């Protein structure tokens, strides 16, 4: 793979990404895929999908897990519903995440990723924190058996909080999918500074932009087209270069309800990234 191939976040029947045809139309050579709905994660579909990617000349670089009942409606709802942190759904979601990883393996993909949720900010010895560590280890160990690594999407944690957690989980196949816009949307820190701190763990990234909220951390910031927000994209790429990241630049634009606008804005984002790469 060349340095920094463009990518786009894609979906088949679940998630906020674009359809494969859009990636093809925009000439984007890599995708990350939101895991399709449970009923469609079959070996037959895996084979069919792999064949389709081959025909389109698109490489799959990561599969993102997502779960029923998750909602990003507002920050408190996100805290309550996302990832492996909510206790009531933790065990079932962990099993589902392993099954998603097995499906990713059937797709020939060695990276699985997810939003783990708002990790309780406490230290080792606190049961709430320890149980999230335990479940993360369990998933890391399962995906390792598949020859895969697990990437945690950024946003819900500060850079320091995430570093602490990565160290406490202590697994050599646990990394970070860095999303600079999420740091702004969630109000968890300046993205470029955070990237410098987490740099050595960053193995995949999103190119997404956002504006800070008036009350960061209490209300959502606003996701906007790439280049129109407060992530300094030139500084972002420069920092990615400094930390030695040479993987895909995966564009995310989370407006699936407006597919034409989504495609047009991703097209512009591809342009912008090509320019900045130069």
Choose which of 179, 209, 223, 265 interacts with Mg ion (CB under 5 A).
Answer: 179
In this structure, the dihedral spanned by the alpha carbons of residues 94, 140, 205 and 203, taken in order and rounded to 10 degrees, is 180
206/263 with CB nearer Mg ion: 206
| Of 100-108, 158-166, 172-180, 229-237: span binding Mg ion (CB under 5 A) | 172-180
157/252 with CB nearer Mg ion: 252
| Of 31-39, 83-91, 96-104, 250-258: span binding Mg ion (CB under 5 A) | 250-258
Residues 6+ apart with CB under 8 A from 73: none
Q: Number of residues in contact with Mg ion, rule: CB under 5 A?
A: 3
Helices within the chain (DSSP H only): 20-25, 43-56, 75-81, 87-106, 127-145, 159-169, 180-185, 191-198, 233-242, 259-277
Min dist. Cβ of residue 153 to Mg ion (A): 5
Helix (H, G, I), strand (E, B) or coil at 224: strand
Binding status of residue 115 toward Mg ion by CB under 5 A: no
Choose which of 206, 233, 262, 269 interacts with Mg ion (CB under 5 A).
Answer: 206
Residue number closest to Mg ion, CB atom: 179
- Sequential DSSP letters for 133-173: HHHHHHHHHHHHHTT-EEEEESSSS-HHHHHHHHHHH--TT
106/207 with CB nearer Mg ion: 207
Give contact residues for Mg ion (rule: CB under 5 A): 179, 206, 252
């Amino acid at each position: 793979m060349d340095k920094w191939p463009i990518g786009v976040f894609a979906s088949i029947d679940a998630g906020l990404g674009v359809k494969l045809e859009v990636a093809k139309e925009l000439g984007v050579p890599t995708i990350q895929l939101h895991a399709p709905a449970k009923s469609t994660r079959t070996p037959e579909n895996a084979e069919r999908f792999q064949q389709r990617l081959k025909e389109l000349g698109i490489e799959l670089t990561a599969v993102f897990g997502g779960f029923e009942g998750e909602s990003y409606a507002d920050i408190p709802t996100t805290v309550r519903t996302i990832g492996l942190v909510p206790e009531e759904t933790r065990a079932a979601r962990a099993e589902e995440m392993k099954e998603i990883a097995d499906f990713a393996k059937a797709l020939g993909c060695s990276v699985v990723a997810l939003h783990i949720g708002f990790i309780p900010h406490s230290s080792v010895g606190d049961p709430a924190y320890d149980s999230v560590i335990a479940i993360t280890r369990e998933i890391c160990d399962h995906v390792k058996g598949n020859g895969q690594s697990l990437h945690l999407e950024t946003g819900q944690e500060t850079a320091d909080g995430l570093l602490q957690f990565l160290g406490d989980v202590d697994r050599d196949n646990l990394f970070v999918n860095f999303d600079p816009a999420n740091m702004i949307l969630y109000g968890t820190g300046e993205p470029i500074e955070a990237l410098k701190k987490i740099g050595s763990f960053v193995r995949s990234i999103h190119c997404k932009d956002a504006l800070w909220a008036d009350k960061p951390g209490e209300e959502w910031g606003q996701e906007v087209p790439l280049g129109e927000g407060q992530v300094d994209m030139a500084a972002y790429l420069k920092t990615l270069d400094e930390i030695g990241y040479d993987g895909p630049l995966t564009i995310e634009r989370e407006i699936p309800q407006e597919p034409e606008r989504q495609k047009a804005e991703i097209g512009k984002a591809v342009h912008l990234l090509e320019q900045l790469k130069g």
